[in-house]
Structure 1
Amino acid sequence: MEVLVLPTPADVARRAAEVVIDGLGAARRPEPVLGLATGSSPLGLYAELAAAVRAGRLDLTRARGFALDEYVGLPVGHPQSYREVLLREVCGPLGLAPERLHVPDGSGRDEDELVAGAAAYDRLIADAGGVDVQILGIGANGHLGFNEPGSALSSRTRVKRLSDRTRHDNARFFAGIDDVPTHCVTQGLGTVLDARRLVLVASGPGKSEAVAAALEGPLSASCPASVLQWHADATAVLDETAAARLRNRDYYDASAAGL
């Protein structure tokens, strides 16, 4: 795992974009597959990727995008559904065709439909040849996607209950906490680990505890993001405040400097 610490969130976005572009190029596939996170963490990264598209350094017209997760129970077209968020923030700016964006189905009428849809999503990723580069954020409680603490490290796409902390953290995107869904469909940690490259972005002091647990703590279901330690090609791109609790900072900086 590579840990890159940059001065500011803007620097994080620029460097993470280069890691993503490099990973897509290394895949050497005519139809690369990009794994898409939502939330505030990757917004700067998406802006940098959009700039690369405008500059002709990146072409995603033939790419396919797979979202990490989706809320259960939001009506079609709800502005805070992750499909709508990605249509606004990714498809248009990055030139990714809306019909090539795939999002877990949170519209099932009952648990059986949701479970079947989750399994179908896992198969859809496999049928696309797997994810070449998966963009990730991290929750303040260490969640990855919507894999809350206690999630099985080998889990596949499935229905999950959101923790109270996650719902309160996400309430800023809704009118209030009562409007935040209680459940989601999320790629499992095992599904995430299948991607060829993982790129985690994190900024701000509120993420420092989770980042330290994920990158330097034990591999544990108590911190789902610790599965990054198990991946052969994972890069964490952090700003100074998100990296504030890392014990091995000197080593990461020396390693990033190269030979």
Structure 2
Amino acid sequence: MVAERTDVAAIVASAGSTNAGVIDDLAGCADVADGLGAWLHVDGAYGLAAMLLPELRDRFAGIERADSFIVDPHKWLFAPVGSCALIYRRPELASAVHTQHGPYIDSIRTGDDVFNPSDLGYQLTRRASGLPIWFALALHGVEAHRAAIRAGLRLAEAMADALDVCPETELVMRPELSVVLFRRHGWAAEDWRVWAANLLQRGTAFVAPTTHRGEPVGRLVFMHPLTPASLVDDLIASLTARG
């Protein structure tokens, strides 16, 4: 059925969805894209930073077949807000689509072999937003970034384990990365709102509840490498408090 489709221009897969941290079957998506002759783009804005960890590389198998992918250094690579890396397999195709022309632009072009980031996206004027992540990597090194990502993964696993054994709570799914989705038995959307507001007021955590397939659920994201392990106990206590 899929191979018979003629109206598919592109397939967008997720390498760590923002809401749940789910990683799509990238190799399977690549197979479908190849069969359709479609462009495969992978949205790794949040999760693809985890590819820095050798032990997680296999979760992203198939990323090498993408026509393009993104990762936002301002998310899990701890860069200032506003940085996004967009990578193309064949930059010349992107250039053919995005290059803009005008007398004031063409007059400064010196040849087709000159790299111009403005030819790879629709935005002409932009800040040098790649500089902060380059500087951080040059100063701290890749291993420091790997250690920071691992810290978030460890806390997410610890939180998931604690929720799994707590009688009042239930995991929606085991975390693939550092996002933990869970239920609190008997709670509706208003209960989640009040819980999150109380956590913020007490300075415990900033939590944004969400929905999963229409159901209000809790959502915790562990990213900051200096988050104390004691936060897990604090959150469990807040979920089991009476009155």
TM-score of the aligned structures, taking structure 2 as reference length: 0.30
Query: Which has the greater radius of gyration?
Result: 2
Q: Which has the higher contact order (CA 8 A, sep 6+)?
A: 1
